[in-house]
Chains A and B, each alone.
Chain A
Amino acid sequence: MNVNQHTPVASPYGQPHPGYAQPGYAPLDGGYPTPYAPYNGPAPAYQPGAPPQGYSPFPSFPSKAVPASPVSDLSSPLDLGPARVPPSSSAPPVSAPQAYNQYTQSHGDMQNGPPLMTQAPPRPPVSQPFSHGAVNMSGPPQSSHPPQYGAPPTMQQVTNQMTGMHISSGPPTPAGPGYAPPHTSQLPVGTAYSAPAPPTYTHAPPPPTSSALTQPPPASGPPAASQQYYGGPPPPSQPPFSSSGSLPTSQHQFTSSAPPPAPPSQQTFPPTSYSGPLPPNQAPAPPVSQQQQPYSASQPPFSSAPPPVSQPAYMCGPPPPTQGSFPPRAPPPSSYAGSFPPPAPPTTSVPSSQYPGPVPPQMQPPPSQLSPYHTGHPPPPPSTQMPPTSMAQSNHLPPRPQAPPGPLQQPPPRPGMQGGYSPQQNGAFGQMRAPQPGYTGPYPGQQNYGAPAPAPAPAPHVQKRLDPDAIPSPIQVIEDDKAKTTEPFTTGVRGQAPPLVTTNFQVKDQGNASPRFMRCTAYNMPCTADMAKQSQVPLAAVIKPLATLPPDESPPYLVDHGERGPIRCNRCKAYMCPYMQFIEGGRRFQCGFCSCVTEVPAFYFQHLDHTGKRVDCYDRPELSLGSYEFLATVDYCKNNKLPQPPAFIFLIDVSYNAVKSGMVSIVCQELKTLLDLLPRENPEMDSVVQVGFVTYNKVLHFYNVKSSLAQPQMLVVSDVSDMFLPLLDGFLVNVNESRLVIESLLDQIPQMFADTRETETVFGPVIQAGLEAMKAADCAGKLFVFHTSLPIAEAPGKLKNREDRKLIGTDKEKSLFQPQVSFYNSLAKECVAQGCCVDLFLFPNQYVDVATLGVVPVSTGGSVYKYTYFQAGSDRECFLNDLRRDVQKPVGFDAVMRVRTSTGIRATDFFGSFFMSNTTDVELAGLDCDKAITVEFKHDDKLSEETGALMQCAVLYTSCSGQRRLRIHNMAVNCCSQLADLYRNCETDTIINFFSKYAFRGVLNNPTKAVRETLINQCAQILACYRKNCASPSSAGQLILPECMKLLPVYLNCVLKSDVLLPGGDVSLDDRAYLRQLISCMDVAESHVFFYPRLLPLIKLESDVLPVAVRDSEERLSKGGVYLLETGLHLFLWVGASVQQELLVNIFGTPSFSQLDPSMTSLPVLDNPFSIRLREIISSFRAQRSRYMKLMVVKQEDKTELIFRHFLVEDKSASGGASYVDFLCHMHKEIRQLLS
């Protein structure tokens, strides 16, 4: 059934999908643009309100949103509404999800916990921005909120908080109207949900977030999702929550999983703000105090309904947990997975997961649904206003309401099968599921609830917006995973998803490549192309072939098969690996990839034991490990000649700007020490890398630093139109032999050019020069180019300034990402052929056309570093660290990467910094330990569930000692014939990595708008497919997310808001091109933190644990606190305006906020534990990233805060990017459209 439904849906999309590549986009555009457009509009408005942003945006939003998109949105929602109904029917099939439920539950709890934690503290501030938060925040934000809410309330109190929430974000208002219709249909459900959900949400903002998400799903597919989430959490949570009426029950369920958290949360939470609010909430007051009241209102409703109760409980729970309890909760989530099957249903609480508390309640679909629905319902009933409908949708997210809806859904599903629910719900919001399982019993009641709950909840919920805390929280997911991961990850189990990239874990190689080398989007690949197409889940792997491993994991063993070279399959040429099956007593082996049988060469023969394994299996890395290296023979070398030692050539711009900025003297100074640190394999030995030096402005200066010379000699080449190497002997030298001459040279370079007046530079010839040098020396190597300005001097590769902001947003925008001349493309090709990798350090004071200058570095596996307005004083540290790292890092040259797969799939597309001259070989002139390549797979046949899918990535490269090697990474994943399995074993971070690279490449050929829409479309299809096929039937108004992908919307939103896809007014073209290129070779960990920065509250710093991060939203910031934000590229220290003096003294050594110097780039070295620990943390962060992060101190309400805000990705962005909540609503709408 589901499938069928899907297919239809898919088909339309299907086209786009295939088209995805490019053509697809165009069509897609149509749909989304409009909806978003409106959003964008609001955004600008936002900025102005900056300080109050959180608030202002909202207020502004509604108004704007309403007029613009709202309508359209609404309309669509309306449609959806009806559509949903059908889904519900389909729901039954969901039964499968049950399993999920378990998982989800756990997660849910976990999540809930964290959010609460975070929220709790930050809330005050945070809450302000968010509706919910506002409630709590009410204190500060309230002021602002009121206005915002004011509108909503009118809209409705009707709409539940949830609705309010959602709506508020953007769609809210519009949603109201637009949704109304859908809601109506949904309403029933919603109402039910709303009742329960709201409470939960309100209580614990955190829960809301999770719950929101979870809930909605729960509503729709509560069973599945909820189960997972709730499974664990419910029980535990319940106890604490018990206080809450029915909720308790749900909670209980949760509690089991997340009991601990709940309690704590409750304690902390309930007591103060929440408790207070709650009551009020109950009171329809909601209308009045938007936030709190709404909540309270909702709560009350909930309370009235069992779910509600639970919700409140959750609410309580979450908050406390947030800080203290979280951890515990997290574990539960994990546990969920396993244990929860039963609880799973409760998991529906998935939503709860987020909202530990809420979830449980929601577990019963009701709660989660409630919230959304409530909103929805309430609206309808109360204000019938559109909001409800929209609310409903948005609500889905909010989950609380879901609870009620849950019931609805549940009801249907339940009828069919409770189990069924849970699974589905899982997919959606954990809460939903949770409820089911947990509630199953109770829920029946819930259903009732649904009815009842809605009634009560509606009003309050409606009024509120989608509670940010009710939507899936990245922080909670991350924390859950951390807590879950206690043991080393062993790679022996096929298809097992590794811990998240944010989790510290140890890997034991037992036959598959470590996730540090290779991560897949799905560890359970669909068996057929149809399934893959239907699900739209990208099948891709992010491979980081030369990744550095932590010291406690041994690097890949080096295997030498002697003169004959590595043993390979005769047909597909796959290398010997654990997947080769030895037969005929060990005389032959059958290839695991192509099934071809190959003779075992005599020297390699070995008997088999009784299990058919070779006796020496464990003695040979290539038979037992996932990653290892072969020593390559001369057959694997270029021209059948063993490679020469590589060369590093430093090419330094010495034009006026370069000298004036101090770059030249810094580089020269640094090189003197850096040359002792050239990469080597044996630390005892001297590096064999040869070095050469070139300076240039309009002409090039080569240096002869032959050891026999007393003084270096400078050779000026002015014939830049036809570059050549003026000398051979003496240009590339061994550092130790020529040390004196080199030092003399480096001393003199800054002097020689101190008085230069030359401002023009060349660029193409510079690279050509390095290339020629390598050609002449017949070696591979790396060029380090230090460049300052647009190369306008007459020479090949001359560029003109084409920065034209008017093109942004037009169809011609893509041209800005393309190189303006083709010269560099062909140059790059030549470089690759020679194995000449180019690293570019840019020090621009104005436009330098990174898009064009970056072509060669990007195609040769190099890196681009950019230091805009470089100042020797402040940027020196950053640059030098980057340079040091770049010079020292392990690197391979002249590499070719080939990915072989088992029959059935094929590597079809590659993303990263490399060059491809055919469709299969990825050529990398240089490959360093930080470069990742994303590979997309497509079916070309069927896969079998038994054998799974195998991948072997072989990288042939020249090591830094000049040895030719093959590095092999093997990976086996499962295959599934059920979509549910696919959704159960995905990794969102990797998917986002893929999507971002896919999209960032897309902007080269498509308008960014089209690219954004394509992304949204695909994401919507993924989720819709899940909803349709894997989630239990539920109201269309519910948003049901797969547990593994519940963060997909938030992350995707971050991608969409990135500077590349949605530039703000102050983002230069260069920055965008720079980021675009940068991301193309990021691995999952880097892309994750890049898109969702890590925000740490610095309150108490313990010696060995990092504080738990908070979500990237202004709401989460406390005026009295100090926060550290890390993006992988930047490091910010945000200081609240009313920060505690003690903190200031500890960190800065000054008690005065006003005396802080925002231009400082490093913290004073103070001898107090806090300062020491903080600096430790900062340096450990820096150590983790491939690029040095310059520290920026941001004072609240200072100008620089704008920059900082940019990274609060859950908020509306200044450039018009939707807030998380808004986007979730939008996503939901899209999904509903698809489903209808």
Chain B
Amino acid sequence: MATYQEFIQQNEDRDGVRFSWNLWPSSRLEATRLVVPVSCLFTPLKERPDLPPIQYEPVLCSRANCKAVLNPLCQVDFRAKIWACNFCFQRNPFPPSYAGISEMNQPAELMPQFSTIEYIVQRGPPTPLIFLYVVDTCLEEEDLQALKESLQMSLSLLPPNALVGLITFGRMVQVHELSCEGIAKSYVFRGTKELTPKQIQEMLGLTKPSPSGQQGRPMAAPNTTASCRFLQPVHRVDMNLTDLLGELQRDPWPVPQGKRPLRSTGVALSVAVSLLEGTFPNTGARVMLFIGGPPTQGPGMVVGDELKTPIRSWHDIQKDNARHLKKATKYYEAMANRSAVNGHSIDIYACALDQTGLLEMKCLSNLTGGHIVMGDSFNTSLFKQTFQRVFSKDYNSDFRMAFGGVLEVKTSRELKVCGAIGPCVTLNSKSPSVSENEMGVGGTTQWKVCSLNPSTTLGMYFEVVNQHNAPIPQGGRGAIQFITQYQHSNTQRRIRVSTVARNWADAQTQIQHIESSFDQEAAAVLMARLGVFRAESEEGPDVLRWLDRQLIRLCQKFGQFNKDDPTSFRLSETLSLYPQFMFHLRRSPFLQVFNNSPDESSYYRHHFVRQDLTQSLIMIQPILYSYSFYGPPEPVLLDSSSILPDRILLMDTFFQLVIYHGETIAQWQKASYQEMAEYENFKQLLQAPLDDAQEILQTRFPMPRYINTEHGGSQARFLLSKVNPSQTHNNLYAMGQETGAPILTDDVSLQVFMDHLKKLAVSSSA
């Protein structure tokens, strides 16, 4: 059998699943002792070019509370045309259409290589995608111009039959009617007034007054025509909308000296959500919110319009000094939930030098699967390209986006579902397999993921409930089935089913097996998600303490050491990197708020809980490549010792891409050696990291901040803050090295961290 590495890789490629443990402890007690829960990272729509969707309905288990989908793990009696559900053991007859099956003639879903399979189903009329632009007009002229251009450009990227709508806001909120000829018409809402969805829909003329609403028919007719006024197929209103966007003016209300422009983001969103809610409930839709500053009035206000009161900082928040925080957060949460219920997702594109209130608004995207993009200006390539990338297409020329996803998890009886962490909301679907022990968003076996893309990854946490005294027979396997129903970007309704199984193992006897089945990368990410999830609601230090304790317990469990002898401590290969991940995680912006604004923290966390394993790991522990004349580019330790004068470093932190020229390189470059023919090789050396960076820039979403700096440059801080401070002003002389660059920090280095870890792990008192 292949190594676990290969097994893991194969499973990930096929099913989009990475489990923390690939052998499952067979009892609750043992599972608890493993510290890292049985959990997995699941990428529901992992791109599977090799997986053709099949055109019929899945076969479901007939037991009412099971309804698992027929899968390769099921036992099938081909002669009796009966299959047994591997979750509830219900025996089900095949439907008539399966009359012809035999061992030689099996349907795809029974073939082992189709443990993940996608069905195209017919459910209701196909509904076009909907894109509702919600645009802030309180921008600088340049920004607005750039944004207008981006928006106009985006029209050409949209599927022609997609419906588009436009809401602009500043002091007022305007819903633009797109169907009218001649006069441009818009409905205006006051930015300071909180309106109920019903009021908004009435004001937009989306509902008929009660008297005539009694007969169902008349009600429906005006409804569709009414919605048409605001949401029109792109191909019909392309020109119209382009003109409209072209004529967009900056918010005309004067902004007095010392004030912020009045920005009614809260009401604008409320209108957008209500508009979609009233017209296309349960249809895939994206609300794309473009903001150039914080909401300054009305519900959802984040900061007042007085410039002399700065927007809240972490400091204010910790001191409970952020006036609007709770109210605004509550407001946006309610909004997000409403939107999620209807399957509409909300993107936030925030471009401003200061904070824009992402902290309060993050839930809009987090709960609905929307994107958050943060930049300094709409007039940057970061925004422009990122925005463009929202509309990227896959190998089938389909948009890499799916809507209205519902993820359901079925488990074997020995397992229960604790929860999920990712861009989802609970659907509150109670079933016997719901664990009382909540981790992340729990209490359900179904989640709504309003918007999905191929990289959207959820952390799923499980609990082994099998009692210690009821051993599972040898060779037994536990199974989990993920059923994802969604609206494909080509408007098809699809269901993707992934069924995975792992062997049970007795932790007492097979602890080595279990240890070797440990996927430390997945475990690190899954634990990090738990930590980040906790950080949203708990104090930073508490979360760090919790992480530390988990780490120490894990080391105690799996480390090999002599009691109270730190030097004897050893970890097996499968766990060796785990402490390092934790070290970097502790330093990461996901858990450290120092030097980050609340908005930035929210932004980072937002992306962390939705990216796949690879990206997540990059976020936790950035990758550092070194370019030199001494050999091909090589990954090097994320350590201050890697910062050498004659090297060029390329660091990818997911959010930033830093190219760092060592001191000597920088001097050479300043001397323009690269322009001399005889130093062609130097030129190539300079070019190499640029090319590699370009490759990363091409594919990453959101596009990272691209930083080209050198030794002593102010932007070098991005690098210096990430590397392990193995050399600092404190130990510089002790090390007495000419290599590497000292970091001016009091942070502990990885070495110190490990020393402490060992000491604690071997301590008998712990």
Contacts and interface: CB of A to CB of B under 8 A. Distances in A.
Nearest to B172: A726
A1061 B15 CA distance: 91
B268 to A, nearest CB: 13
B270 to A, nearest CB: 12
Given A699-B203, A728-B252, A716 B185 contact: yes
A590 interface: no
A728 B254 contact: yes
Interface string A745-756: 100100110000
Interface in B452-485: none
Contacts of A751: 182
B185 A719 contact: no
B262 to A, nearest CB: 12
Nearest to B202: A718
A900 to B, nearest CB: 40
Contact of A714 (B172, B183, B189, B249): B183
Nearest to B191: A724
A719 B193 contact: yes
A711 interface: yes
Contacts of A1183: none
Name, among B193, B202, B203, the residue most crowded by chain A CB atoms within 10 Å (CB to CB).
B203
B465 to A, nearest CB: 54
Given A724-B172, A728-B254, A716 B183 contact: no
Contact of B193 (A711, A722, A729): A722
B735 interface: no
B252 A717 contact: no
A729 B170 CA distance: 13
A524 B186 CA distance: 64
Name, among B172, B182, B188, the residue most crowded by chain A CB atoms within 10 Å (CB to CB).
B188
A728 B185 contact: no
Contacts of A712: 183-184
B93 interface: no
A717 B271 CA distance: 13
A711 B172 CA distance: 21
Nearest to B190: A724
B-side interface size class: 20 to 34
B629 interface: no
A750 to B, nearest CB: 12
Contacts of B199: 719
B203 A714 contact: no
B41 to A, nearest CB: 47
A715 B186 contact: yes
Contacts of B247: 709-710, 713
A699 B200 CA distance: 13
A719 B203 contact: yes
Nearest to A715: B188
Given A726-B174, A728-B252, A711 B188 contact: no
A722 B190 contact: yes
Given A724-B172, A726-B174, A729-B252, A718 B186 contact: no
A718 B200 CA distance: 9
A713 B254 contact: no
A-side interface size class: 20 to 34
Interface in A701-743: 701-703, 709-719, 722, 724, 726-730
Interface string A82-120: 000000000000000000000000000000000000000
A153 B395 CA distance: 117
Contacts of B185: 701, 713-716
B585 to A, nearest CB: 49
Nearest to A717: B188
B214 to A, nearest CB: 18
A219 B120 CA distance: 114
B204 A718 contact: yes
Contact of B188 (A709, A726, A748, A752): A726
Interface in A902-933: none
A36 B184 CA distance: 63
A713 B205 CA distance: 19
Contact of B187 (A703, A717, A728, A745): A717
Nearest to B252: A729
Contacts of A729: 249, 252-253
Interface in B165-213: 172, 174, 177, 182-190, 193, 195, 199, 202-205
Nearest to B183: A714
A716 B190 contact: no
A709 to B, nearest CB: 7
Contacts of A716: 177, 185-188
A528 B253 CA distance: 60
Name, among A711, A727, A729, A748, the residue most crowded by chain B CB atoms within 10 Å (CB to CB).
A727
Contacts of B193: 719, 722
Contacts of B253: 728-729
A966 to B, nearest CB: 31
A727 B183 CA distance: 16
A219 to B, nearest CB: 72
A719 B252 contact: no
B186 A713 contact: yes
A275 B26 CA distance: 140
Contact of A752 (B182, B249, B252): B182
B186 A714 contact: yes
Contacts of B183: 703, 711-714, 745, 748, 752
Nearest to B250: A729
Nearest to B192: A724
B663 to A, nearest CB: 55
A277 B137 CA distance: 92
Contacts of B205: 718
A56 B204 CA distance: 63
Nearest to B186: A715
A748 B252 contact: no
Nearest to B247: A709
B189 to A, nearest CB: 6
A752 B179 CA distance: 13
Nearest to A718: B203
Interface string A376-405: 000000000000000000000000000000
A730 B184 CA distance: 14
Nearest to A699: B203
Nearest to A751: B182
Nearest to B199: A719
Interface in A248-271: none
Nearest to A760: B209
A1197 to B, nearest CB: 49
A716 B188 CA distance: 5
A492 B205 CA distance: 67
Interface in B249-300: 249, 252-254
A822 B99 CA distance: 79
Contacts of A728: 252-254
Nearest to A726: B188
A711 to B, nearest CB: 6
A977 to B, nearest CB: 64
Contacts of A724: 172, 190
Contacts of A752: 182-183
A695 to B, nearest CB: 11
A151 B315 CA distance: 105
Contacts of B186: 713-716
Name, among B177, B204, B205, B249, the residue most crowded by chain A CB atoms within 10 Å (CB to CB).
B249
Nearest to A712: B183
A715 B174 contact: yes
A719 B190 CA distance: 8
Closest 9 CB pairs of A and B: A718-B203, A729-B252, A726-B188, A716-B187, A714-B185, A724-B190, A713-B184, A715-B188, A717-B188
17 contacts: A702-B188, A709-B247, A712-B183, A712-B184, A713-B183, A714-B184, A714-B186, A716-B187, A717-B188, A718-B204, A719-B189, A719-B203, A724-B190, A726-B188, A727-B188, A730-B252, A745-B183
Given A714-B184, A714-B185, A748-B182, 12 more contacts: A699-B203, A710-B247, A715-B187, A717-B188, A726-B172, A726-B174, A727-B188, A728-B252, A729-B252, A730-B252, A745-B183, A751-B182
